[in-house]
Amino acid sequence: MKISDFNKDRELQFYVDESGKEQSKIVEPTALEGKIKFHALNKEILNKVSAAINRKAIEYDELTYKVIPIITNVEMDISLQDFKALLSLPPNNLFINFIDQINNEFINLVQRVNKFKQDISKVNDEINKSIESLPKELKDKVEEAKLTDEEKLAKIEQLYSEEKDTKKKHDLLLELAKLQSILDRKKNNEGEM
């Protein structure tokens, strides 16, 4: 489907009504070439829209001109100037309905992205609040679980060097050996691949 397909003329149709009177009506073009498909909105589409906007202020008509071929299967076979003329004086109701749908789809896209970001932020806040309300021992374990094996190794080495008690030092040394063994196995497995 091409955007120029909307440039079909409306027609004045004459007919005789049921009472035998001659009447006329304006008939919108009905048969457009093909169907308009709105692509499923996903990250790729969002990236294309972002690239089209290019993080700068952009006029509505230029934005619409750039977004239509990204979110639909409609080919823009007219210039931006011709498209601006179509927007300023729409050729028919089909075009008006199409532009309304484009606007709705774009608004929906922006709202969904914003809602998704807000939801993620809310979940992160809730997780952080939950972690903060945990007893100190559990908080430490949660924080430790976030560490990589290398970070854990560095932390245990630091604790070992600071520890004065020989029993605790012995336990830390065992943890160091165990963790170093795990890291060595990981490196060996990566080397085999």
Return the pLDDT at 106: 80
Confidence of residue 150 (pLDDT cuts 50, 70, 90): confident
- Distance between CA 107 and CA 127 in Å, rounded? 30
Return the pLDDT at 69: 92
Same domain (yes/no): 91, 152 = no
Q: What is the pLDDT of residues 3-49, one digit of tens each?
A: 888 887 778 889 898 999 998 888 777 656 567 888 887 888 878 88
Return the pLDDT at 81: 94
Examine residue 130 and state whether it is found in any structural domain, yes or no. Answer: no
Better-scored residue on pLDDT, 73 or 148: 73
Q: What is the pLDDT of residues 47-98, one digit of tens each?
A: 888 787 776 778 888 888 988 999 889 999 999 999 999 899 888 888 888 8
Same domain (yes/no): 7, 93 = yes
Q: How many domains does the chain have?
A: 2
Examine residue 33 and state whether it is found in any structural domain, yes or no. Answer: yes
Return the pLDDT at 37: 87
Same domain (yes/no): 21, 93 = yes
Same domain (yes/no): 94, 7 = yes
Return the pLDDT at 19: 92
Confidence check: pLDDT of 193 > 60? no
Q: What is the pLDDT of residues 105-118, one digit of tens each?
A: 888 877 887 888 88
Place of tokens 């890291």: 183
Partner residues linked to 14 by β-bridges: 24
- Distance between CA 180 and CA 159 in Å, rounded? 15
Cut 0.85: pTM above it: no
User: What single letter denotes the amino acid at residue 14?
Assistant: F
Tokens of 39: 């692509």
φ, ψ at 153 (rounded to 5°): -60, -45
| Residue 32, domain extent | 3-117
Confidence check: pLDDT of 127 > 70? yes
